[in-house]
Amino acid sequence: MTTFIKVGKVSDIPVLGARCVKTPAGTIGVFRTADDQIFAIENRCPHKGGPLSEGIVHGTSVTCPLHNTVVSLTTGLVEGPDGGGVVTIPVEVVDGEIHLDLGRLPVREVA
Amino acid sequence: MRKRLVVIGNGMAPGRALERLFEAAPDAYDVTIFNAEPRVNYDRIMLSPVLSGEKSYEDIIIHDDAWYTSNNVRLLQGKRVTEIDREAKRVTAADGTTADYDKLIIATGSNPFIIPVPGHQLPGVLAYRDLDDVEKMLHGAKTGGRAVVIGGGLLGLEAAAGLKMQGMDVTVLHIMPTLMERQLDPSAGYLLEKAVEDRGIEVICKANTKEILGVDKVEGVKLDDGRIIDATMVVMAVGIRPSVQLAKDAGLTVNRGIVVDDGMRTSDPDIYAVGECVEHDGMVYGLVAPLYEMAAVLADRLVEGAREYKGSQTSTKLKVTGIDLFSAGDFAEADDREEIVLRDAASGVYKRLVLKDNKILGVVLYGDTADGAWYFQMMKDGADIGELRDTLIFGQAFAGASPLDPTAAVAALPADAEICGCNGVCKGRIETAITDKNLKNVDDVRTHTKASASCGSCTGLVEQLLKLTLGDAYNPAGVAAMCKCTDLGHSDVRRLIVAKGLKSIPAVMQELQWKTANGCAKCRPALNYYLVADWPGEYVDDEQSRFINERVHANIQKDGTYSVVPRMWGGVTSSDELRAIADVVDKYEIPTVKVTGGQRIDMLGVKKEDLPAVWADLGKAGFVSGHAYAKGLRTVKTCVGSDWCRFGTQDSTGLGIKLERFLWGAWTPAKVKLAVSGCPRNCAEATCKDIGVVCVDSGYEIHFAGAAGLDIKGTEILCSVPTEAEAIEYIAALTQMYREQGHYLERIYKWAKRIGYDTVRNQIVHDAEKRQGYFERFQHAQKFAQDDPWAARAAKTGGHATEFTPLAEIGTAFPKPEMMEPAE
Ligand code: SRM
Ligand SMILES: Cc1cc2nc3c(=O)[nH]c(=O)nc-3n(C[C@H](O)[C@H](O)[C@H](O)COP(=O)(O)OP(=O)(O)OC[C@H]3O[C@@H](n4cnc5c(N)ncnc54)[C@H](O)[C@@H]3O)c2cc1C
Ligand code: SF4
Ligand code: FES
Domains of chain A: 4-101 (2.102.10.10)
Q: How much distance in Å is there from the Cα of B450 to the middle of ligand 3?
A: 56
Least-confidence region, from B2-11, B216-225, B461-470: B461-470
With an 8 Å Cβ cutoff, is A81 touching chain B? no
pLDDT at B519 over 70: yes
User: Could you give the percent of chain A with pLDDT greater than 90?
Assistant: 73
**pLDDT tens digits, residue range B615-663?**
999 999 999 999 999 999 999 999 999 999 999 999 999 999 999 999 9
The minimal CB distance from B818 to the residues A6, A13, A16 is found for A6
Which residues in chain A are closer than 8 Å to B516, comparing Cβ atoms? 58-59
* Residue B181 pLDDT: 85
Contact A111/B at CB under 8 A: no
Ligand 4 atom index nearest CA of A48: 1
* pLDDT at res. B707: 95
Residues with CB under 6 A from ligand 2: B 8-14, 34-37, 44-45, 47-48, 80-81, 107-110, 128-129, 155, 158, 243, 246, 275-276, 286-289, 291, 319, 422, 455
Of A7, A57, A68, the CB nearest to B544: A57
A102·B810 Cβ contact <8 A: yes
Closest-CA residue of chain A to B551:
A54
Average of per-residue pLDDT across A76-98: 89
Is residue A71 within 6 Å of ligand 4 at its C-beta? no
Residue B438: is it exposed, middle or buried by C-beta count within 10 angstroms (0-12/13-18/19+)?
exposed
Q: Which residues of B touch A51 (CB under 8 A)?
A: 556, 560
Residue A93 pairs in a beta bridge with A98
Per-chain mean pLDDT for chain A: 88
The H-or-E segment that residue B548 falls in is helix B548-552
* pLDDT-derived band at B327, boundaries 50, 70, 90: confident
Sheet holding B233-236, edge to edge: B125-127, B233-236, B146-150, B169-173, B201-204
Tens-place pLDDT, residues B421-477? 777 788 888 988 888 888 888 877 887 787 877 766 677 788 888 888 887 777 654
* Residues of A whose CB is below 8 A from B483: none
Give whole-number Cα distances, B790 to B82, B543, B616, B627, B671, in Å: 69, 15, 8, 10, 19
Q: Is A62 in the pocket of ligand 4 (CB under 6 A)?
A: no
- A26 inside 8 A of chain B by CB: no
Cα–Cα distance measured from residue B175 to residue B151, given in angstroms and rounded to the nearest whole number:
7
CATH number of B125-238: 3.50.50.60
pTM recorded for the entire structure:
0.54
- Would strands A38-42 and A88-89 be described as parallel, antiparallel, or unpaired? antiparallel
Question: For chain B, what's the residue count?
Answer: 824
Report chain A residues whose CB lies below 8 A from the CB of B815: 3, 5, 102
d(Cα A75, Cα A89) in Å, to the nearest integer? 10
pLDDT of residue A111: 29
Q: Is the pLDDT of residue B508 over 80?
A: yes
Residue from B666, B652, B656 nearest B695 by CA: B652
User: Inter-chain contact B823–A2, Cβ cutoff 8 Å?
Assistant: yes
Q: What is the pLDDT of residues B68-91, one digit of tens each?
A: 998 999 999 999 999 999 999 999
Q: Which residues of B touch A102 (CB under 8 A)?
A: 810, 814-815
Determine the Cα–Cα distance for residues B699 and B722; give it in Å rounded to an integer.
4
Strand-pair category, B592-595 with B633-638: unpaired
A15/chain B closest Cα distance in angstroms: 8
Contact B810, A102 (CB under 8 A): yes
Put simply, the answer to whether B560 touches A54 (Cβ < 8 Å) is yes
Q: Is B639 in the pocket of ligand 3 (CB under 6 A)?
A: yes
> Does A77 contact B at CB distance below 8 Å?
no
Q: Pick B807's closest partner by Cβ from A30, A57, A102.
A: A30
Q: How far is CA B290 from CA B315, B316, B455, in A?
A: 10, 12, 14
Q: What pLDDT shows up at residue A105?
A: 65
- CATH 3.50.50.60 residue ranges of chain B are 3-110+242-302, 125-238
> Has residue B785 got a pLDDT over 80?
yes
Please tell me whether the interface predicted TM-score (ipTM) of this complex is above 0.85.
no
For A34, name the nearest residue in chain B, comparing CA atoms only. Answer: B518
Q: Where in chain B is the domain with CATH 3.90.480.10?
A: 549-620
For residues B216 and B121, the answer to whether their CB atoms sit within 8 Å is: no
Ligand 1 binding residues, C-beta < 6 A: B 555, 557, 563, 565, 594, 596-598, 600, 602, 628, 634-635, 673, 707-711, 747
**Lowest mean pLDDT segment, chosen from B161-165, B405-409, B563-567, B611-615:** B405-409
> Is the per-residue pLDDT at B813 higher than 80?
no
| Parts of chain B belonging to CATH 3.30.413.10 | 633-785
In this prediction, residue B403 carries a pLDDT of: 43
Shortest alpha-carbon distance between residue B784 and chain A (Å): 24
Ligand 2 centroid to B463 CA: how many Å? 29
User: Is the CB of B823 less than 8 angstroms away from the CB of A14?
Assistant: no
Q: How far is A90 from chain B (nearest CA, A)?
A: 11
- In ligand 2, the atom with minimum distance to the C-alpha of B13 is 25
Provide the CB-side half-sphere exposure for B157 (13 A, CA). 28
B627 Cα: distance to centroid of ligand 3 (angstroms): 27
> Least CA distance to A21: which residue of chain B?
B808
Specify burial of residue B273 (Cβ count, 10 A radius: 0-12, 13-18, 19+): buried
Residues contacting residue B393 through CB under 8 Å, at least 6 positions apart:
B340, B341, B342, B351, B353
Beta bridge partners of B173: B150, B204
Share above pLDDT 70 across residues of chain B, in percent, rounded to a whole number: 95
CB contacts of B549 in chain A (<8 Å) are 65
- B305 CB-near residues (< 8 Å, 6+ apart): none
Q: Which atom of ligand 1 approaches the CA of B629 most closely?
A: 45
**pLDDT tens-digit series, residues B373-420:** 888 888 888 888 887 877 788 777 666 544 445 566 677 777 877 788
Q: Which residues on chain A are in Cβ contact (under 8 Å) with B816?
A: 5-6
Confirm or reject contact between A15 and chain B (CB < 8 A). Answer: yes
Residue of A30, A42, A54, A105 to mutate when probing chain B, most B C-beta within 10 A? A54
CATH class of B3-110+242-302: alpha beta
A80 contact B CB<8A = no
Residues B356, B337 contacting (CB under 8 angstroms): yes
Q: What number is the average pLDDT over the span B600-613?
A: 95
Q: Which of B599, B647, B649 to mutate to test the pocket of ligand 3 (most atoms within 8 A of CB)?
A: B647
Mean pLDDT of B697-718: 94
Beta strand B146-150 pairing with B233-236: parallel
Q: Which of A3, A14, A56 sits opposite B547 (nearest CB)?
A: A56
Tell me if A56 and B521 make a contact (CB, 8 A cut-off). Answer: yes
The nearest CA of chain B is from the CA of A97 a distance in Å of 11
CATH of domain B549-620: 3.90.480.10
Average of per-residue pLDDT across B267-294: 93
Look at the domain B633-785 and name its fold: Sulfite Reductase Hemoprotein; domain 1 (3.30.413)
Looking at every residue in chain B, the average pLDDT score rounds to 89
Instruction: Identify the weakest region by mean pLDDT among A35-44, B446-455, B582-591.
Output: B446-455
Average pLDDT over residues B345-370: 84
